[in-house]
A and B are shown apart, each in its own frame.
Chain A
Amino acid sequence: DTAVSQTPKYLVTQMGNDKSIKCEQNLGHDTMYWYKQDSKKFLKIMFSYNNKELIINETVPNRFSPKSPDKAHLNLHINSLELGDSAVYFCASSQEREWPADTQYFGPGTRLTVL
């Protein structure tokens, strides 16, 4: 069983479009995250959700809107896509009660290409 899954794996779209990336974890964790890895391989946190509530928003443009319908899902919706949004997006999850020694489990990533 895949612990953290993301769909789609690849996403190619035109500038200006709106797209969503889905993330699901079956680990029973209560905290989920979105990270962005740019072309220089720098991995940067975007959002953190705990029990469906936003905890961290790291100065991400408001074109990015995370949505958590339940503890096991954290989807990322992106409006008006720009060339600079091209990157690999990783979802992750962890268990808050283990913090700060908690382990984050990452998904396989979604490679977004904006043309």
Chain B
Amino acid sequence: DAKTTQPNSMESNEEEPVHLPCNHSTISGTDYIHWYRQLPSQGPEYVIHGLTSNVNNRMASLAIAEDRKSSTLILHRATLRDAAVYYCILRDSTNTGNQFYFGTGTSLTVIP
């Protein structure tokens, strides 16, 4: 399974944008990039996913590098509720048995 690398932790001031990086240099052409987050004492929740093009939804934006070897999750205005561990996950579209393999993620602290 292709691996992802994320910083262990990041800090952001409230109401400022946050850019969470993810490196996936061994990504294959068929791997989808998924982002999930886990708020304290809760189960993970879906944030966004993409394949090649940048994606936007109500929660965040996903910027994918042209060579797809890295991606960035963008929270446009961080709130205290965004403090969580953010996971970047690759999903192989050629392997129906491929499941989510969560790495260590990035722990985001939002400073009031």
Q: Do A and B bind each other?
A: yes
| Among B43, B46, B91, B99, contact of A90 (Cβ-Cβ < 8 Å) | B43
A43/B46 contact (C-beta < 8 A), A56-B97, A100-B92 known: no
Number of residues on chain B facing chain A (CB within 8 A): 24
Q: Please tell me which stretch of B13-21, B63-71, B100-108 contacts chain A, meaning at least 4 of its Cβ atoms lie within 8 angstroms of it.
A: B100-108
A-B contact count (CB 8 A): 52
Chain B residue numbers with a CB within 8 Å of A106 are 43-45
Q: Cβ of B42 and Cβ of A104 under 8 Å apart?
A: no
Is A45 in contact with chain B by the CB < 8 A criterion? yes
A109 to B41 CA separation, bound complex (whole angstroms): 8
B43 contacts across to A, CB distance below 8 A: 4, 90, 92, 106-109
Interface residues of B in 28-43 (CB under 8 A from A): 32, 36, 38, 41-43
Within 8 A of B (CB), among A57-115: 58, 90, 92, 99-101, 103-109
The complex places the Cα of A43 from the Cα of B32 at a distance, in Å, of 19
In the bound complex, do residue A55 and residue B32 qualify as a contact, i.e. CB atoms below 8 Å apart?
no
The interface residues of chain A lying within 8 Å CB-to-CB of B44 are 43, 90, 92, 104, 106
Contacts of A35 in B (CB 8 A): 102
Report the nearest A residue to B51, measured CB to CB: A101
CA distance A35 to B100 in the complex (A): 10
Complexed CA–CA distance, A48 and B97 (Å): 9
Contact A42 B100 (CB under 8 A): no
In the bound assembly, the distance between CA atoms of A107 and B38 in angstroms comes to 12
Q: Which of B42, B45, B46, B51 makes the CB contact (< 8 A) with A109?
A: B42
Q: Does B85 contact A (CB under 8 A)?
A: yes
Q: Which of B91, B98, B102 is in CB contact (< 8 Å) with A43?
A: B102
List, sorted by A's number, 7 A–B pairs whose CB atoms are closer than 8 Å. A42-B104, A43-B44, A101-B91, A104-B44, A104-B100, A106-B43, A109-B42
B-to-A contact residues, CB < 8 Å = 32, 36, 38, 41-46, 49, 51, 85, 87, 91-93, 96-102, 104
* Residues in A lying within 8 Å of B, measured CB to CB: 4, 33, 35, 41-45, 48, 55-56, 58, 90, 92, 99-101, 103-109
Top 6 A-B pairs ranked by shortest CB distance? A106-B43, A43-B102, A100-B93, A100-B91, A103-B46, A45-B99
